Amino acid sequence: MDEREFRVLVKHYFMKDKSPEKTKEKLDKYYGKSAASIITVYKWFQTFQSGHMSTSDAEHFGRSFEVNALEIIDKINAMVMDNRRMKVREIASAVSISSERVYNVLHQQLGMKKLSARWVPRLLTVDQKRNRVRCSKDSLQLFQRNPQDFRRHSVTVDET
């Protein structure tokens, strides 16, 4: 059960003139550990007593916690692709956002992680997967033709 649904139940008990303690008792009886805390029940009782009867979240104003500006994401992506050894602080100062936001963009939006001091995509692209399958099939054919000679002639490369 989500937070809003608990608020509706608390409002129901408030409207029936139940006490916060009795409300908490009922919530615990039916919902156990997932029930709202007694402090939360008291808070909502105070809110309803002050005349605010809405059970939905109040609208929050100010800066969003997520960076969704496509131009910033594209700029960060271009910077990392040009120099995969860039530090988060360097990127943050270049695009004028916080290091935490840059870290979020790199990990969440771009799906990258830091590996051996370089930013690399966490997941392979479709082309990289196809290339990997093609190389694996070619290697298997070479191995099946001449297993002894295969090890001396195989070369591995980094996909990044």
Q: Which CATH number fits the domain that encloses residue 33? A: 1.10.10
40 in the same domain as 19: yes
Asked, for residue 56, whether it belongs to a domain, the answer is no
Asked, for residue 159, whether it belongs to a domain, the answer is no
Asked, for residue 12, whether it belongs to a domain, the answer is yes
Host domain of residue 10? 3-50
Angle between helices 20-31 and 3-15 (to 10 degrees): 130
43 in the same domain as 16: yes
125 in the same domain as 93: no
The single-letter DSSP state of residue 37 is: P
Asked, for residue 115, whether it belongs to a domain, the answer is no
Residues 6+ apart with CB under 8 A from 140: none
Q: What does R_g of the chain's alpha carbons equal in angstroms?
A: 28
Dump pLDDT digits (tens) for 73-94. 889 989 988 998 899 999 999 9
Dump pLDDT digits (tens) for 27-85. 999 888 888 899 999 999 998 888 888 887 665 555 554 445 778 888 998 998 899 88
Q: How many domains does one find in the chain?
A: 3
Whole-structure pTM value:
0.38
Identify the CA nearest to 99 among candidates 67, 71, 137, 145: 67
